[in-house]
Amino acid sequence: MSENTDRIPFLRRREALASAGALGLGLVWTNGCAWFDSAGAAVEEDAVEAAACTLSKELTEGPYWIENGLTRRDVTEDRPGVPLTLLLAVEDAGSCRRLRRADVEIWHADAQGAYSGVGSAGASSRFLRGHQRTNANGVVRFETIYPGWYMARTPHIHLKVHVGGDEVHTGQLFFRESVSREVYRTRSYRSHGQADTSNAADMIYERGSLLRLERASGERRWIGRKTLVVDA
């Protein structure tokens, strides 16, 4: 889906709801704006929960971070899996305001638990990695896949936030186990089996870093939302 075509112009609430009803589409209304993706399902970009100005907990970078300058919304490349839209807001802990043009970087394992740039994936590969800068509402949107698992870790996504060139947050995002079990029964994940480590048994898991997940209307796709509160 092109970044130039995935939005529709702002509509007044009544017009948007009427259009959605006429087309038989679901609509999500957010901060006065809404749009439909190419499958007709609405995605709300800016509705990410408030975080009460409480700093997000720092969690280990892990061994698989690779420096890259890949600025892109869709980080999937050729990796099969259940689509996941990530909507991440960045908020300053001091002012409790969203931060514009903060750089958010994510990286995670593919459906079989492999990271790009290391091991059998090859040193030159860069799938499921990338950066985005927050928009005027302090939000970034990534298109990726639901991460697979690897030994002794619960499913997760790594991230970093930079503001003004400074690294202000390193963390991980986690998933409800019921959703992971459902995803891991699907084709791209089935051969790898179910995760061998629960959230509770994971040595790094932080309950406060759970993504708020919901299924996109009428699709086999998940939308995850999280506010990242940083000391900027």
Closest CA to 161 of 114, 229, 214, 222: 229
pLDDT at 192 over 90: yes
Residue 216 region, left (φ>0) first, then alpha (ψ -120 to 50), else beta? Answer: beta
Query: Residue 21's pLDDT is what?
Result: 41
- Tokens coding 156: 């997760």
Query: Residue 45's pLDDT is what?
Result: 56
Calculate what percentage of the chain has a pLDDT beyond 70.
78
- Locate the domains of the chain by residue range: 1-44, 48-230
Closest CA to 88 of 159, 193, 12, 1: 159
Q: How confident is the model at residue 202 (pLDDT cuts 50, 70, 90)?
A: very high
Residue pLDDT, tens place only, 145-169: 999 999 999 999 999 999 999 999 9
Q: Are 139 and 88 in contact (CB under 8 A)?
A: yes
Query: Residue 1's pLDDT is what?
Result: 35
- Tokens coding 183: 């995803």
Calculate what percentage of the chain has a pLDDT beyond 90.
75
Q: Are 189 and 183 in contact (CB under 8 A)?
A: yes
Q: Which of 12-26, 57-71, 124-138, 192-206 has the lowest mean pLDDT?
A: 12-26
Write out the CATH class of domain 48-230.
mainly beta
Residue type, 150: Y
Residue pLDDT, tens place only, 15-26: 443 444 433 434
Tell me, yes or no, if the pTM score tops 0.75: yes
